[in-house]
Amino acid sequence: MTRNSNLLDRAADAAAVAAKYCDEVDAQSRFPTEAMQALKDARLMGIMIPRDLGGEAASLRDIAEVCALLGQNCASTAMVYAMHQIKVSSVVSHGADHPWHRAFMACIASQQLLLGSSTTEGGGIGGDLGNSICAIERDGDEFTLRKDASVISYATQCDAILVTARRAPDAPGSDQVMATLLKSQYTLEKTAEWDTLGMRGTCSEGFIFEGRAPAEQIMPQPFAEIAARSMLAHAHLLWGALWYGIAANAVSRAQSYVRAEARKKPGQNPVGALRVAEAASMLQLMRSSLNAGLERFEKAQLANDDLNSMSFAIDMCNLKIGSSRLLNDIVQQAMMVCGINGYKNGTPYSLGRHMRDAMSAPLMINNDRIFGNTSNMLLVHRLDQRLAS
Amino acid sequence: MKTVIRKLIEQHGRLPVAMSTLADGQDLYAAGLTSFAAVQLMLGLEEAFDVEFPERMLNRKSFSSIDAIAACIAEIAPQKAVA
């Protein structure tokens, strides 16, 4: 607990910086430079890394708490931080026995590196991260890779990018690996802008990615293993945590609004009071399911095969679908409470940014794609009917 | 049993390579088995061997090779394994 509160104290400073610049980041659709620098200054980039490599071995629960806090203040900053930590989780989970990635972990911690991700690809692949067109081409001890990366978030800001590709030019699309390339090892040629409704600070532009690096920078495990064992849970739980932050802040604004109304007219309940109560109940659902998800992950970590199981994958997918939907319902509800003061920008009750940021949640890995996957798994998987599991 | 398994992989596995080129111990995922096709294959196996895979077998590893699939079936339906 002491470690957790220490992390939260450090994150609070960064969250204050994030809050200060969030409207500017949103309006200009620019990278949250100040908040990300504050996170580096607070030494929060490498906290998941083991202690012997210079990190703090922070748990996913701790990091989720940081994401939730950032989400209350600037969703773009929270999303960049979450995406970074999802990448770190792959290196931590799968690089422990791999010399190059061990050294890389030490660098992340000591230099507070920011990691980016390139899974999305053009040419019909889109967000289907289990498939690639581009392939690793071996050239002696090195490899080259050219990827039409239709989305790489904060690509020009990060220090390294973890890229998925087919194992070799003759490998099938689903036989993928993940390689880590350092900033000095790749070039980026911009192909698409990032001018969106929300999450405007993630700068998720499109690029042609071209890189060359030593072959030891390719992770030895198949990417499908990495996706199942570290990415799935970390992505859905950390996204869920920051979405919870957005929702919590929206409810807090609605509550403040109703409280101010109630003070003005003592003796009668303001119109929006009932909706605040309803939003609070939805927020509790969201919080409970995220906590249950974190608990599920902690349990699965102890039992090796569980992380690979269908039941775990379905739980994590359902968590993502549920929390992204709840977030939108909650923000909508808060908007009804605050009325024109929520609809207008620049009031203490403004919710436009929350709403626009929230709308990305069901789309980033489209909920319908996830339902497609879970519906397939549910053809063979039988749901646990017990209340407690 | 492995002949039946091979036939089912051919039917449901949607592999880009010919089954005859795959050894029993070879990684089916590396050969192009997707998670979608793996579920279709599981359904085909359940139908053909009249079994239901228990929860603990519903993971990537259980279906990673012809040998692995055969071991799962031998475990849940020993009498069918000799067929």
Confidence (pLDDT) at A364 = 92
Of B50, B54, B19, the C-alpha closest to B33 is B19
Beta bridge partners of A212: A144
- Cβ–Cβ below 8 Å for A381 and B55: yes
Confidence (pLDDT) at A338 = 97
Q: What average pLDDT does range A176-191 have in this prediction?
A: 98
Q: Which chain A residue lies closest to B41 (C-alpha atoms)? A: A380
Structure tokens at B43: 């359904």
Query: Alpha-carbon distance B54 to A19, whole Å?
Result: 49
- Cβ–Cβ below 8 Å for B29 and A173: no
Confidence (pLDDT) at A117 = 97
Nearest CA of chain A to the CA of B28: how many Å? 10
- Cβ–Cβ below 8 Å for B35 and A225: no
Q: Domain A2-113 class?
A: mainly alpha
Q: Which of A125, A132, A174 is most worth mutating to test chain B (most B CB atoms within 10 A of its CB)?
A: A174
Confidence (pLDDT) at A126 = 79
Q: How confident is the model at residue B17 (pLDDT cuts 50, 70, 90)?
A: confident
Residues in chain A with CB shorter than 8 Å from the CB of B34 are: 130-131, 174
- Give the range among A2-6, A72-76, A101-105 with minimum mean pLDDT: A2-6
- Cβ–Cβ below 8 Å for B34 and A305: no
Confidence (pLDDT) at A3 = 53
The mean of the pLDDT values for chain A is: 95
- Cβ–Cβ below 8 Å for A171 and B58: no
User: Each residue of A274-311: pLDDT tens digit?
Assistant: 999 999 999 999 999 999 999 999 999 888 778 888 99
Confidence (pLDDT) at B81 = 59
- With a cut of 60, say whether residue A344 has pLDDT above it: yes
User: What is the rounded radius of gyration, in angstroms, for the C-alpha atoms of chain B?
Assistant: 11
Residues in chain B with CB shorter than 8 Å from the CB of A172 are: 15-17, 31-32
Q: What average pLDDT does range A356-363 have in this prediction?
A: 98
Beta bridge partners of A117: A162
Q: Enumerate the domain spans of chain A.
A: 2-113, 116-217, 223-377
Chain B touched by A220 (CB under 8 Å): no
The continuous run of DSSP H or E covering A211 comes out as: strand A205-214
> Helix, strand or coil for residue A45?
coil
* Three-class secondary structure assignment of A113-181: CCEEEECCECCCCECCCCCCCCECEEECCEEEEEEEEEEECCCCCCCEEEEEEECCCCCCCCCEEEEEE
Q: What average pLDDT does range B50-78 have in this prediction?
A: 90
Chain A touched by B63 (CB under 8 Å): no
**Phi, psi (degrees; rounded to nearest 5) at A347:** -105, 165
| Residues B27 and B65: beta-carbon distance below 8 Å | yes
Q: Which chain B residue lies closest to A307 (C-alpha atoms)? A: B59
Q: How confident is the model at residue B61 (pLDDT cuts 50, 70, 90)?
A: confident
Q: Set out the domains of chain B in order of their start, with CATH numbers.
A: 2-15+22-81 (1.10.1200.10)
- With a cut of 70, say whether residue A10 has pLDDT above it: yes
DSSP state letter for B82: T
Please determine, for the modelled complex, whether the ipTM score is greater than 0.90.
no
Q: Which chain A residue lies closest to B44 (C-alpha atoms)? A: A380
Residues in chain A with CB shorter than 8 Å from the CB of B53 are: 380
Q: What average pLDDT does range A109-119 have in this prediction?
A: 97
Nearest CA of chain A to the CA of B69: how many Å? 15
Q: How many beta-carbon pairs under 8 angstroms link A with B?
A: 59
| Residues A374 and A382: beta-carbon distance below 8 Å | no
- With a cut of 70, say whether residue A19 has pLDDT above it: yes
Confidence (pLDDT) at A4 = 64
The continuous run of DSSP H or E covering A90 comes out as: helix A75-94
Of A111, A106, A102, A10, the C-alpha closest to A63 is A10
- With a cut of 90, say whether residue B13 has pLDDT above it: no
- Cβ–Cβ below 8 Å for A380 and B61: no
User: Each residue of A224-272: pLDDT tens digit?
Assistant: 989 988 999 999 999 999 999 999 999 999 999 999 999 998 888 899 9
Confidence (pLDDT) at B32 = 87
Residues in chain A with CB shorter than 8 Å from the CB of B59 are: 305, 308-310
Q: Which of B15, B35, B56, B62 is most worth mutating to test chain A (most A CB atoms within 10 A of its CB)?
A: B35
Confidence (pLDDT) at A1 = 43
Q: Which chain A residue lies closest to B46 (C-alpha atoms)? A: A380
Structure tokens at A225: 């293993």
Nearest CA of chain A to the CA of B11: how many Å? 17
Query: Alpha-carbon distance B75 to B83, whole Å?
Result: 14
Structure tokens at A328: 């939108």
Chain A touched by B50 (CB under 8 Å): no
Q: Domain A223-377 class?
A: mainly alpha
Q: What angle do CA A168, A171, A175 make, to 5 degrees?
A: 100
Q: Domain A116-217 class?
A: mainly beta
